[in-house]
Amino acid sequence: MNHTARLGLLGLAMALSACSVLDGDKIDYKSATQGSTLEVPPDLTQLSRDNRYAVPGSAVSAAAFQAGQNTKTSAAATAAASKIGDVRIERNGNQRWLVIDRPADKLWEPVREFWIESGFNLAVDQPDLGILETDWAENRAKLPQDVIRSTLGKVFESLYSTGERDKFRTRLERNANGGTDIYVTHRGMVEVYTNTSKDNTIWQPRAADPELETEFLRRIMVKLGVSQEQSKAVAAAPALKAATVRMATENNVPVVQMDEGFDRAWRRVGLALDRTGFTVEDRNRNEGLYFVRYVAPGTDKKEPGFFSKLFGVGSAATPPLKYRVVVRSQGETTAVSVLNEAGAPESSANAERILRVLADDLK
């Protein structure tokens, strides 16, 4: 059955249903089963398990979920301490991450189990790099819970699609105090019509959802021993204003300037790299380096089209390009720039475009 027919049936079912599509913005990624791959659109199944660049991107937002849970939250709860036991949540603008006073090797399995228990297949599982990444998944809770679905069950369920797919990357990084920082980033795709007759669709990136990232961080807190009530109070604390970010040029090299010190800048750049789909092959916090790789357009048919458009059309014989994203700070100011594989400053158009993608996410 083609997509137009599926959309028509979905629309009919929604019209017949007296229930809302969602009851409180629930989250349900239970479509993953043991040994199976998730049902995803054909062009998404072609995405490499070792993504190089796949820039997103509102999946199902956790905003309504949190709002519903916190309608009666008092001022005291809103200002609750951000630390429960040895787990705390830190925030900078719309970015949040966990800081846990436990070594990374003690956290890897619980975090890995969390994603599997949440209904995801893992496309990337690399303990040596501290990276877990889910496969593309559909939030089935966004589908209408109507009489037709409840009557025909799984036989009819295959005709339904939200037209959205999500994946999440989790990165565990040892911090200077011997504990671990945990970051969760979301990327999303949405299916859209390509013409007014609505007989053809394509998948394209959509904006990342920081509130959904926060909701999964909160759930990881619960997995690590924090109670539901405590985790909700901590996650609901207001965000702090992020430092100013701007594009500039230093010594004829494009840079992103940030009005904050190294620690926060390092974390924010790492989150931006994860959100925008960069593959970080390695990192060296002491030297402020993230080692990333870019596969030129045309060299890997498994890559989505976003960066093909961003970087232009490339030759099929073009080898992968490796870059270093360097974070350098002086006091409370930080500059982010791009180096080539040899470690020399990069002033090419690619470098400027990479920095602009990061700057857009950092703002």
CATH number for 110: 3.30.530.50
Kindly state whether residue 21 falls inside one of the protein's structural domains.
no
Kindly state whether residue 37 falls inside one of the protein's structural domains.
no
Task: Give 60 or 352, the one with higher predicted confidence.
Answer: 352
What domain count does the chain have? 2
Final residue of a structural domain among 222, 240, 258: 240
Q: Which of 138, 164, 136, 174 is nearest to 51 (CA)?
A: 136
Kindly state whether residue 17 falls inside one of the protein's structural domains.
no
Q: State which residues form the domain around 148.
A: 84-240
Residue at 136: amino acid letter: W
Same-domain check for residues 207 and 257: no
Q: Looking at residue 93, what is its pLDDT?
A: 79
224 vs 14: CA distance, rounded Å: 39
Task: Give 167 or 318, the one with higher predicted confidence.
Answer: 167
Task: Name which of 61-70, 194-203, 213-222 the model is least confident about.
Answer: 61-70
Task: Give 323 or 28, the one with higher predicted confidence.
Answer: 323
Q: Looking at residue 91, what is its pLDDT?
A: 86
141 vs 25: CA distance, rounded Å: 8
Kindly state whether residue 226 falls inside one of the protein's structural domains.
yes
Is the pTM higher than 0.75? The answer reads no
Same-domain check for residues 116 and 139: yes
- The answer to whether 38 and 32 are in contact (CB under 8 A) is yes
What strands lie across the sheet with 289-294, from one edge to the other? 245-250, 253-258, 333-339, 321-330, 289-294, 279-284
Same-domain check for residues 127 and 219: yes
Same-domain check for residues 174 and 304: no
Q: Looking at residue 154, what is its pLDDT?
A: 53
Is the predicted pLDDT of residue 17 greater than 90, yes or no?
A: no
Kindly state whether residue 104 falls inside one of the protein's structural domains.
yes
**What stretch of H or E contains 221?**
helix 210-223
64 vs 23: CA distance, rounded Å: 10
Rg (CA), the chain: 21
Same-domain check for residues 256 and 220: no
Kindly state whether residue 49 falls inside one of the protein's structural domains.
no
Final residue of a structural domain among 240, 262, 288: 240
Q: Looking at residue 27, what is its pLDDT?
A: 81
Task: Give 145 or 258, the one with higher predicted confidence.
Answer: 258
Task: Give 199 or 167, the one with higher predicted confidence.
Answer: 167
Same-domain check for residues 214 and 319: no
Same-domain check for residues 224 and 88: yes
Same-domain check for residues 226 and 348: no
Cα atoms in the 13 Å half-sphere on the side-chain side of 227: 3
Is the predicted pLDDT of residue 209 greater than 50, yes or no?
A: yes
- The answer to whether 308 and 297 are in contact (CB under 8 A) is yes
Q: Looking at residue 8, what is its pLDDT?
A: 44
User: In degrees rounded to 5, what are phi and psi of residue 260?
Assistant: -160, 165
Q: Looking at residue 159, what is its pLDDT?
A: 55
Q: Looking at residue 4, what is its pLDDT?
A: 47
128 vs 83: CA distance, rounded Å: 28
Determine the average pLDDT of the residues in 308-326. Answer: 64
Final residue of a structural domain among 191, 223, 240: 240
What is the three-class DSSP state of 117? helix
Same-domain check for residues 223 and 249: no
Kindly state whether residue 206 falls inside one of the protein's structural domains.
yes
315 vs 141: CA distance, rounded Å: 42
- The answer to whether 171 and 17 are in contact (CB under 8 A) is no
Task: Give 186 or 91, the one with higher predicted confidence.
Answer: 186
User: In degrees rounded to 5, what are phi and psi of residue 262?
Assistant: -60, -45
Same-domain check for residues 248 and 223: no
Q: Looking at residue 86, what is its pLDDT?
A: 93
Same-domain check for residues 181 and 312: no
208 vs 58: CA distance, rounded Å: 6
Q: Looking at residue 145, what is its pLDDT?
A: 60
Same-domain check for residues 114 and 219: yes
Kindly state whether residue 31 falls inside one of the protein's structural domains.
no
Q: Looking at residue 228, what is its pLDDT?
A: 93
Q: What CATH number has the domain bearing residue 293?
A: 3.30.310.170
Residue with tokens 């490339």: 314
110 vs 127: CA distance, rounded Å: 12
